[in-house]
Structure 1
Amino acid sequence: MPRHRPALLLAALAAALLVVPATTGTAATRTPTAPKIKTRNAKVQIDVRGYLEIRRLHDTTSDCFPGESWTQVNRYDYATGGFRNINLKRVTGEGFDPVVTSTPSAPAGTAKVEGKILGYRTTNYCTGTKAEVKPEPTCAPVRRGRTRISLLETTPSSSTDDDELTPLSSGNRLQVAVFMTGSGLDDPDCVGGGPESLTGDALPTSIATTAIAPGNTTALPAGITTLKLFGIRRGQTIRRTAIVTGPCTRAEVDVVTGAGGSPSPARLNADGDCQVAGKLSYTIRPRPVKK
Structure 2
Amino acid sequence: MEIIKEIREAFASGKNPSARKIMSLPDEFPAYVIRISDGYGVAIEIDDRMEVSEKFNSCRLHTAYMSIDESMKNYLVLRSAFEDYRYEFASICAEFVDPGDGGKNRKDILENPYVWWTRWKELIGNTNRELRAYNVIAEMGVLLHKFKTDPTTEWAATRISTHDIECADESCEVKSTVKRYGTEITISSQYQLEHKKRLFIYFCKLEESLEGISINGMKKKLIDAGYDEGKLELELEKQGFERGTNIRNKKYKILEKRKYEVDDKFPRIVQTSFKEDKYPDYITHIEYTIDLEGINYTEW
TM-score w.r.t. the length of structure 1 is 0.24
User: Larger helix proportion, structure 1 or 2?
Assistant: 2
Structure with bigger RCO (C-alpha 8 Å, 6+ apart): 1
TM normalised by structure 2 equals 0.24
